[in-house]
Amino acid sequence: MEKIAIASDHGGFDLKENIIAYLIKKGLEVDNFGAHSADSVDYPDYGIKLAQAIIDKKFVRGILICGTGVGMSIVVNRFPGIRGTLCSDVYTAKMCREHNDSNILIMGGRVIDVSLAIEILETWLNTEFEGGRHQRRLDKINQIETNLKTK
Which amino acids are annotated catalytic? 66, 99
Rounded Cα distance between 6 and 85, Å, is 14
Q: Of 71, 145, 58, nearest to 103 (Cα)?
A: 58
First to last CA, the chain: 40
Secondary structure letter of residue 12 according to DSSP:
G
Using an 8 Å Cβ cutoff, are 39 and 81 in contact?
A: no
User: Sign of torsion, CA 34 94 53 111?
Assistant: negative
Helix and strand element counts for the chain (H, E): 6, 5
